Amino acid sequence: MSNMFRFLFDKDTWQELRESLTKNKLRTIITMIGVWWGILLLIGLLGSAKGIENKFSVQFGDYATNSVFIWGQTTSKAFKGFQQGRYPGLKLSQLEKIKNQVKGIKFLLPRNARDAQVVRGVQYDNFGISGDFPLLDEIQKKNLISGRFINQLDINDSKKVAVISDDVYKQLFAVDENAIGEFLKINDISFKVVGVFEQGDFDFGGDLHIPFTTFQKVYNQGDNIGWITVTGEQDFNIRQIEKDVKLALKNLNYVHPDDNRAFGSFNLGELFDRFEGFLKGMQFLTWFVGIATLIAGVFAIGNILLITVKERTKEIGIRRAIGATPFEIKRQIILESIFLTIIAGIFGIISGGWILIAMDFAYGSGPDSILINASVSIFVVFIAVIILVLFGSLIGLIPANRATSIKPIDALREE
């Protein structure tokens, strides 16, 4: 062991390594490209996959991903005396029944929405208005900049209050103006602003949230609902819940069970699953391609060392004549192999890191960013280095054995 230690810290060890590698610099560099490229791929692709994943989770934010949106459409089949082309719609009064009939529903949230002109002083524009319950904040966490979201008191008293998006704020308010407590006119009715929120990428629905009950009264909605958001319990399959809710709705509204047009839906959980699958596939592919490239690169190094050993047959013969043991010859060649793989690997890690930094710089910031914090963990880098050392020493064994399989006498005779 102390022998090995001295071997690694002896100047001659490294001088010999340098000599044998710099004898043919171009060949050494070309040899290293394979390993360099393998590691670069591994770091670059894994980093990008991580960046996309990060971006995606930021986009979804705190949205409960096991959710489905359901809305009413027109029927496509005649059933129980009703003609096709009817609009059954969604009814507030049916929600309690649906929640009781379908298993696994955590939240069932009715929403209403429409476009309206919003006026403040001389400023005005058209925005989407939605009538909401406080529960919305649970399913789709609202990122409030100031003020509060709609609360139960607003619902109970059908208060004329509004929570506005940063977009609305920018359109209707001056820079740095305090919006809380100010009044807006929606369809000529005055609403007090109680909160400002930052709009996310996956915000379905309005620029302005007003209490559900207020919306009902102002727009004369009665029992009608625009759409519902259904969130499933942890252990339940959101696709099954989607089917069950639709079937319950069909039953309650005298719609043919096979009528697939009567109620439309959009399953966020399904989309999310598909995306997660895609990410997993991408990561698998990255490891596969990276490791395969790495193996090819390491083989190239082994191959070139084999040629080097052939060229150095005589030198190895001289060394053995003056007393080098086969082990001493072997460890030098294995060291060369490990050294080449590690140096190439470190260059790969560094250049892979640069690529990630460049990607982050080009695509990583602002609202249109494609990747967020594209990076690889130290753990992955560590694994990569371990693999390199392992592969390097394994492949080094081939030329090393070749070097000592020739008898010194034959080696010396070689011209």
Partner 1 sequence: MLNIKDLHKSYDMGESSLHVLKGINLKVEKGEMVAIMGSSGSGKSTLLNIIGILDELDEGQYFLDGIEIKDLTEKKSANYRNKFLGFVFQSFNLINFKNALENVALPLYYQGLNRKDRLDKALFHLEKVGLANWASHMPNELSGGQKQRVAIARALAAEPKLLLADEPTGALDSNTSKEIMKFLQQLNDEGKTILIVTHEHDISLMCKRIVKLKDGIITEDKKIKQHKIK
**Residue 160 or 330 with smaller CB distance to partner 1:** 330
**Residue 15 or 190 with smaller CB distance to partner 1:** 15
Q: What is the largest CA-CA distance in the chain?
A: 107
Which range binds partner 1 by CB under 8 A, 2-10, 219-227, 234-242, 270-278?
A: 2-10
CB of 402 to partner 1, least distance (A): 15
The DSSP annotation for 35-85 comes to HHHHHHHHHHHHHHHHHHHHHHHHHHTT--SSEEEEEE---SS-BTTBPTT
- Counting Cα atoms < 13 Å in the Cβ hemisphere of 187 gives 12
Contact between 232 and 106 (Cβ < 8 Å): yes
How many Å apart are CA 149 and CA 140, to the nearest integer? 12
How many Å apart are CA 108 and CA 91, to the nearest integer? 13
Question: Among 11, 25, 181, 235, which residue sits at the site for partner 1 (rule: CB under 8 A)?
Answer: 11
CB of 333 to partner 1, least distance (A): 15
Give residue 303's identity as a one-letter amino acid code.
Answer: N
Place of tokens 């006498």: 409
- Burial group, residue 129, by CB count within 10 angstroms (0-12, 13-18, 19+): buried
CB of 30 to partner 1, least distance (A): 21
CB of 327 to partner 1, least distance (A): 7
**Contact flag: residue 26 with partner 1 (CB under 8 A):** no
Which residues in 32-65 are b (16+ Cβ under 10 Å) and which e?
Answer: bebbbbbbbbbbbbbbbbbbbbbbbeeebeebbb
**Contact flag: residue 328 with partner 1 (CB under 8 A):** yes
CB of 14 to partner 1, least distance (A): 12
**Contact flag: residue 414 with partner 1 (CB under 8 A):** no
**Contact flag: residue 315 with partner 1 (CB under 8 A):** yes
CB of 409 to partner 1, least distance (A): 4
**Contact flag: residue 407 with partner 1 (CB under 8 A):** yes
- Burial group, residue 134, by CB count within 10 angstroms (0-12, 13-18, 19+): middle
Question: Among 244, 320, 349, 391, which residue sits at the site for partner 1 (rule: CB under 8 A)?
Answer: 320
**Contact flag: residue 160 with partner 1 (CB under 8 A):** no
Question: Among 250, 319, 345, 372, which residue sits at the site for partner 1 (rule: CB under 8 A)?
Answer: 319
- Long-range pairs for 22-26: beta carbons < 8 A, 24 or more residues apart: 23/308, 24/308
CB of 301 to partner 1, least distance (A): 21
**Contact flag: residue 359 with partner 1 (CB under 8 A):** no
Site for partner 1 in 59-98 (CB under 8 A): none
Contact between 226 and 45 (Cβ < 8 Å): no
**Contact flag: residue 10 with partner 1 (CB under 8 A):** yes
CB of 300 to partner 1, least distance (A): 24
**Contact flag: residue 408 with partner 1 (CB under 8 A):** yes
Place of tokens 């009817």: 86
**Contact flag: residue 404 with partner 1 (CB under 8 A):** yes
How many Å apart are CA 30 and CA 24, to the nearest integer? 10
**Residue 3 or 365 with smaller CB distance to partner 1:** 3
Give residue 247's identity as a one-letter amino acid code.
Answer: L
Which range binds partner 1 by CB under 8 A, 42-50, 268-276, 295-303, 318-326?
A: 318-326
Count of Cβ atoms closer than 10 Å to residue 158 Cβ: 16
Which range binds partner 1 by CB under 8 A, 87-95, 142-150, 311-319, 355-363?
A: 311-319
**Contact flag: residue 336 with partner 1 (CB under 8 A):** no
How many Å apart are CA 390 and CA 393, to the nearest integer? 5
Question: What is the distance of C-alpha 72 from the center of its chain?
Answer: 33
Interacting residues toward partner 1 by CB under 8 A: 3, 6, 10-12, 19, 23, 314-315, 318-328, 404, 407-409, 412
